[in-house]
Structure 1
Amino acid sequence: MGLLQDLKERILIGDGAMGTLLYSYGIDRCFEELNVSKPEEIKRIHKAYVEAGADIIQTNTYGANFIKLSRYGLEDETKKINQEAVRIARASSDGAYVLGTMGGIRTFNKNAYSLEEIKRSFREQLYLLLHEEPDGLLLETYYDLEEAREVLKIARKETELPIMLNVSMHEQGVLQDGTPLWEALRSIADLGADIAGINCRLGPYHMIEALTEVPIFRDAYLSVYPNSSLPSLEEGRLVYDTDDAYFRESAVQFRTQGARIIGGCCGTTPNHIRAMAEAVRGLSPVTEKEVKIRREEEVISVSNERTEPGLNEIAAQKRSIIVELDPPKKLNFDKFLQAAAELKETGIEALTLADNSLATPRISNAACGSLLKERLDIRSLVHITCRDRNIIGLQSHLMGLDTLGLTDILAITGDPSKIGDFPGATSVYDLTSFDLIRLIKQFNEGISLSGKPLGKKTNFSVAGAFNPNVRHLDKAVKRLEKKIECGADYFVSQPVYSEQQLIDIHHETKHLKTPVYIGIMPLTSSRNAEFIHHEIPGIKLSDSIREKMALAGEDKRKQKAEGLAIAKSLLDTACELFNGIYLITPFLRSDLTSELAAYIKQKDEKRADVYLH
């Protein structure tokens, strides 16, 4: 009798965590490599689960694909690791079904690997496992539904063996893209999964609650592999702590919800599996159940509606000037407010507030933006880096910005921490700038990264960073196109110091419908010019510019005059080609950017007069 035939008549018990037991033995390295170096350890764990009552065991190949093995320098061992895994499991099975296991790769960072890379890696592992003739396949821990669907299509095309696919939820009842669990499982069944279910991340309680909303499908069986509990951190080690009796009770409830395969994920041991096997022994599968209808949390329409057009909308229609003013490094806020007030008088659209630029601690730009709004009625474009906050902090920060009514955001990766005041500090980079843009747009739909409703929709307008100071400008523009796909509304460029470069940028970006704010930053001295030329990646100043700044010597008035003259010359070209101008204030020298903003206004007024007459 085969696996699917068995499932028609009874509930089957899956095994528990492989990694948890290996970790408890003091092994903290690539678990899949142990198929080759310590096969007896793997065999012992398989046997322990079979003796505990597991009808199904999975091969120790969750991360045995090219992408994950390459993290350990083991990519050349992919074939041997997968081959040995199936052979070890088969030798240990004692009649239990052996499923070839393949784990998901994407988490919340969808850009870490392209879908094509994932599919290529999946195909290789799939062929290796199928060659060893397992009883079926287990695709597990898929947080990303798109990835799950794509690899399932590949597997279903290549084999008629039973396929079980388990997705993972960040939050009860929904996947991270907001798809309801029942809908995700239905789509998996429609694509040919014989068994559709859930595993990892959550313990029995939340999985049972989530399954109350999932119907019993007629064309696919339901599987569930919960974690033993939420983990705690004890002396630097993750520890799971749930007693066997709780799992015994949970198994009965899983059966009530229609589960045909019940196993365990992180933190589960043979004791948990034994308890569940004993609990459902002799019980027939449930074929009918009452499905709980989810009551969606009300998503309120945007409460803080914009009272002004987006910066992208302004730049699409007319001249728009934004000015960067770095938040202070010290707690004396008065000088910053004075500079902001001076810039406001020039009629700029907004102040852009960097997020600890050059990895140097500054007053929170959210606090600055809130005070500027309250005291000076100035609009702020708040930068957010991926460097300083994990996904928890990023979501909290976005919620805070929405609460403060700060709705203009520039999403950037952020300078690495090693260049700042604390070179030993950790750079987080949970998300890329592409992911952050996507997350912000997801907030605009009222959905958090975990897929749960936020209670209201935000109304963020999001800018992307543009670095034109690269060898191949066309590749930089390709990045812009990718950011547009993620949801970027407009772009803000790094400073440009060449009229010809401005012309080239216009030529390469004129097909984009999203506006570009061109960065212009006045030079303050010869040393400043030399630093930018030699130490800022990608920016090279012409010999003539460097010579002009050098001729100004140490005379501060000459330095200012020359720096402004160079910037105005650049603006003459930039204003002919772009509506959006981004003036970058060096060293809080608001007098420089104020004069440049006034210069742009005067140019536009003269042009308007000529046009009218």
Structure 2
Amino acid sequence: MGLLNDLKDKVLIADGAMGTILYSEGQNTCPEEYNLTHPEKIEKIHRSYIESGADIIQTNTYGANYEKLKVFGLEHEVKHIHTAAVEIARKAAGENTYILGTVGGFRTNKKEDYSLESILYHSDIQIDALVSNGVDAILFETYYDFDELIAIVKHTKKHYDIPVIAQLTAPNTKSLYNGYLINEALKKLVEAGADVVGLNCHHGPHHMKEAFKHIELPEGAFLSCYPNSSMLDFEDNEFHYSENASYFGDIADMLVQEGIRLVGGCCGTTPDHIRQIYNHVHGKKPVTNKKVIPYEEIRSASQKKATSLKDLVLESKTVIVELDTPKHLETEKFFKGVDALTKRNVDAVTIADNSLAQARISNIVAAGMIKEKYDIRVLAHIACRDRNLIGLQSDLMGLSLLGVTDILAITGDPSKIGHFPGATSVYDVNSKGLTQVIKQFNNGMNMNGESLKVKTDFTVAGALNSNARRLDAVVKQLHKKKEAGMDYFITQPVFDASRVKEIYDATRELDMPVFIGVMPITSYNNAAFIHNEIPGIKLSEELLNAFYEVRDDREATKALTFKYCEALIDEVYKYFNGLYIITPFLKYDLSIHLVDYAKSIEESLNSKGEII
């Protein structure tokens, strides 16, 4: 009859986990290698599932792609492992059991680790080996990234005449990691050509049941579900799942009532779990209509959205000043600086996030105190170095509560360049990944796709490397940052006025606001340090020599600093609305002088933006 014909009027039972059994028996290497080294063991596991009532088994190929096999030095055995897997499954199955050729996903939350082109290339090797050896259908399982799964489904349906089962892995019962509602994502998979769509892994049976309450019966396709046996637990330094086969069977019955036609097991499941599914659902007729519970709506923030820095800089000259928190607990000078900037009507004070991997007072705590005591906007830098995805999201929620909605998303300097040997860098995501998280917050969902109940109002700035040798390469990165959702850019400090025009010419195609960084130099030693020890920044010989000539004269040094900074500001205001003044060593008097100068220039501009 064929798998799809059987699913029209039957509920079919699939097998459970392969790795769970192998690990329980002491296997501690690549499970897929067992197709070559211990085929009899794999066949025995297949037979145990069939004897427990499974109508369908899957090949032992979930992790048999090039990248995962490379960890074990088996990357050149992809075809052999798949060929052996199908042969073993066929030997176990006989004539009355369907064989699914299993292909697992590549991506997790770091999408940039694998391009879709690379994924399609390596997955096609697997698919071709499985189809050539006669599987009844292809099962794509445990796909965290929707874009990856939909691309591989389209590719497979275009090149192979075989049924496709496409299963996503969702972090919660309503949406995917990218915020897509599961119901809508499954519809798109059907449109892409999938014959069976559903979920597997991450959740135990209860949460899978809750997820399918919101999922419609697809038109022209069927639903599948492979739950884990339970939530993962950690005890005695080991991860394990609950032994709950009877409960698993009870929930399987409820899954069928939610429209599931193909039900099996994922992590932690054993032949006992599949036997319980068989006892509860074998012979049951599939559901042909159901009542779907609609998803709750996410409301927008009740307060009126404040004008963002992006809005300001699009309309007029805008000045922001960086004032970093201290490396110690004496904060009087820092808050005096904030007070002085507030009185000068600076558009925002920006606070770095442990720049150069050096520990400072939390910029989020400082932002909260500034919001409470001063009437000035805060632009908070958020670095990916020091927080995992949990911490990043926690801090974003906190910033939203504080009313700090302007964010500079940066990857962050590696911890090894700082003063704390042995400190580690996290980098769960980079600046683009963090931006995508923030934009998902603006849609009312966290990284897991769970509802925040309220949408945030963040705007996101990105860093622009103004001192790179090749600005064309920088612009390519800026395009990617723009695609990730960044709203405007802020440059590193610029020390050469001619560079301002170069940045303008290179970035005008982006049609994005840019703040140009200007940083006062405090002494010749400071200039020499910047030139020789900060990677990527070189001062001109002319500027270095000028500071050398006045190295012993404090007032002359200050006058020189103002002279070159004012020349830079003149040039910035010819081409850009955004000025970013970086305060060195909490010497906010230098920044105040430049703010006053910028304000005077702004007042002297005519309506065409030309200096009078």
- Asked if 2 retains the 8 angstrom alpha-carbon contact of 1:198 and 1:224, the reply is yes
Shift of 1:326: 0.9
**Which AA in structure 1 matches 2:81?**
I
CA–CA distance in structure 2, aligned partners of residues 134 and 97 of structure 1: 8
Cα deviation code 1:215-262 (max 9, x no counterpart): 434522221100111112234432111411111212222222232221
Q: Partner residue of 1:17?
A: 17
Q: What is the CA distance between 1:176 and its match in structure 2?
A: 2.8
Residue 532 of structure 1: CA displacement? 2.2
Do 2:182 and 2:215's aligned partners in 1 also have CA atoms closer than 8 Å? Answer: yes
Return structure 1 stretches of 4+ with deviation > 6 angstroms.
Answer: 609-613
Aligned-partner Cα distance in 2 for 1:531–1:127? 58
Change in Cα spacing, 1:393 to 1:574, as seen in structure 2 (3 Å) is: same
Q: Which residue of 2 aligns with 1:189?
A: 190
The equivalent of 1:223 in structure 2 is 224
**What secondary structure is seen at the aligned counterpart in 1 of 2:509?**
coil
Of 344, 348, 352, the match for 1:354 = 352
**Does 1:384 find its partner at 2:382?**
yes
1:156 equivalent in structure 2: 157
1:330 to 311, 318, 328: 328
What displacement does 1:153 show? 0.9
Give 2:299's aligned residue. Answer: 300
- Pair 332,74 (structure 1): closer, same or farther in 2 beyond 3 Å: farther
For residue 302 of structure 2, give the secondary structure of its aligned residue in structure 1.
coil
Instruction: Note the C-alpha offset of 1:71.
Output: 5.0
Q: How far, CA to CA, are the matches of 2:34 and 2:555 in structure 1?
A: 70
Q: 1:67 to 1:350 in 2, by over 3 A?
A: same
Distance 1:559 1:158, change over 3 A: same
Aligned to 1:76: 76
- The 5-angstrom pairing of residues 500-539 of structure 1 reads 500-539=498-537
Q: Distance in 2 between matches of 1:184 and 1:85?
A: 31
Quick one: which amino acid aligns to residue 150 of structure 2? R
- Judging changes above 3 Å, is the alpha-carbon distance between structure 1 residues 565 and 210 closer, same or farther for their aligned structure 2 residues? same
- Equivalent residue, structure 1, for 2:233: 232
Instruction: Give structure 1 stretches of 5+ with no counterpart.
Output: none
The corresponding residue for 1:458 is: 456
Contact 2:298-2:452 at 8 Å conserved across structures: yes
Quick check: 2:318–2:578 contact (8 Å CA) kept in 1? yes
2:488 is aligned to: 490
1:470: which partner in 2?
A: 468
Deviations 1:506-562 (A, max 9, x none): 110122221100111122233322332233222122222222233333544444333
* Cα shift at 1:290: 2.7
**Letter of the aligned partner of 1:179 in structure 2?**
Y
Q: Matches of residues 27-66 of structure 1 in structure 2 within 5 Å?
A: 27-66=27-66
Matches within 5 A, 1:587-598: 587-598=585-596
Quick one: which amino acid aligns to residue 582 of structure 1?
A: Y
Query: Cα offset for 1:583?
Result: 1.0
TM-score normalised by structure 1 residue count: 0.93
- Aligned residue for 1:98, secondary structure, equals strand
1:515-594 equivalent positions in 2, closer than 5 A: 515-594=513-592
Partner of 1:177: 178
Distance 1:30 1:495 in 2: 50
How far residue 383 of structure 1 moved from its aligned partner, in angstroms, is 0.9
Q: How does 1:321-470 map to 2 (within 5 A)?
A: 321-470=319-468
Given that 1:7 and 1:260 are in contact with CA atoms closer than 8 Å, whether structure 2 keeps it comes out as: yes
Shift of 1:50: 2.9
C-alpha contact 2:174 2:449 (8 A) present in aligned 1: no
Q: Which amino acid is 1:284 matched to?
A: K
Partner of 2:109: 108
Tell me the CA shift for residue 155 of structure 1. Answer: 0.9
Q: Is the 8 A contact 2:604 2:611 kept in 1?
A: no
Change (3 A) 1:348 1:216: closer
Distance 2:77 2:604 in 1: 70
Question: 1:576–1:382: structure 2 CA closer, same or farther, 3 Å change rule?
Answer: same
**2:231 partner letter:** L
SS at match of 1:111: helix
1:466 shift after superposition: 1.1
TM-score by length of 2: 0.93
Alpha-carbon spacing, 1:611–1:159, altered in 2? closer, same or farther (3 Å): closer
How many residues end up aligned between the 2 structures?
610
**2:256 pairs with 1:255:** yes
Residue 474 (structure 1) shift: 0.8
Q: Do 1:297 and 1:455's aligned partners in 2 also have CA atoms closer than 8 Å?
A: no
3-state DSSP class of the match of 2:491?
Answer: strand
Q: Given that residues 100 and 136 in structure 1 are in contact (C-alpha distance below 8 angstroms), is that contact kept between their aligned partners in structure 2? A: yes
Q: For the structure 1 residues 548 and 380, does the alpha-carbon distance in structure 2 shift closer, same or farther, using more than 3 Å as the test?
A: same
1:230–1:240 CA contact under 8 A, matched in 2: yes
Per the alignment, do residues 292 and 612 of structure 1 end up closer, same or farther by CA in structure 2, a change over 3 Å counting?
A: closer
The answer to whether 1:207 aligns with 2:227 is no
The amino acid of 2:62's aligned partner reads Y
The structural deviation recorded for 1:377 is 1.3
Question: Is residue 385–residue 412 contact of structure 2 (8 Å, CA) maintained in 1?
Answer: yes
Secondary structure in 2 aligned to 1:510?
Answer: helix
Where 1:197 maps in the other structure, the secondary structure is strand
| Range with bigger deviation, 74-83 or 220-229 | 74-83
Cα gap change, 1:504 to 1:15, in 2 (>3 Å): same
Is the CA contact 1:325–1:588 (under 8 Å) kept in the aligned structure 2? Answer: yes
Structure 1: how far apart are the matches of 2:422 and 2:74?
29
Work out the CA distance in 2 between the residues paired with 1:395 and 1:337: 27
Deviations 1:557-611 (A, max 9, x none): 4443333333333223222222111111122121222222222222333445997
Provide the residue aligned with 1:128 in structure 2. 129
**Where does residue 143 of structure 2 map in the other structure?**
142
Is the alpha carbon distance of 1:585 and 1:9 closer, same or farther for their aligned partners in structure 2, counting shifts above 3 Å? same
Percent identity of paired positions between Structure 1 and Structure 2: 46
* 8 A Cα contact 2:532 2:538, kept in partner: yes
1:307-357 deviation line (CA, Å, top 9, x unaligned) = 4x3212222222111111111222222221011112223332101111121
Q: 1:37 to 1:577 in 2, by over 3 A?
A: farther
Letter in 2 for 1:301: S
CA distance in 2, matches of 1:279, 1:91: 28
Decide whether the 8 Å contact of 1:111 with 1:434 is kept in 2.
Answer: no
For residue 273 of structure 2, give the secondary structure of its aligned residue in structure 1.
Answer: helix
Report the aligned-residue RMSD: 2.4
Q: 1-side partners of 2:558 and 2:611: how far apart?
A: 34
Distance 1:558 1:233 in 2: 65
Q: 1:360 to 1:159 in 2, by over 3 A?
A: same
Distance 1:15 1:120 in 2: 28
| Contact 2:445-2:452 within 8 A present in 1 as well | yes
Q: Distance in 2 between matches of 1:69 and 1:554?
A: 64
User: Counterpart amino acid of 1:304?
Assistant: Q
**Secondary structure at the counterpart of residue 587 of structure 1:** helix
Distance 1:23 1:496 in 2: 57
State the one-letter code of the partner of 1:195.
V
- Contact kept, 8 Å, 2:574 with 2:610, in 1: the verdict is no
User: Which structure 2 segments of 5+ residues have no match?
Assistant: none
Is contact 2:601-2:611 (8 Å) kept? Answer: no
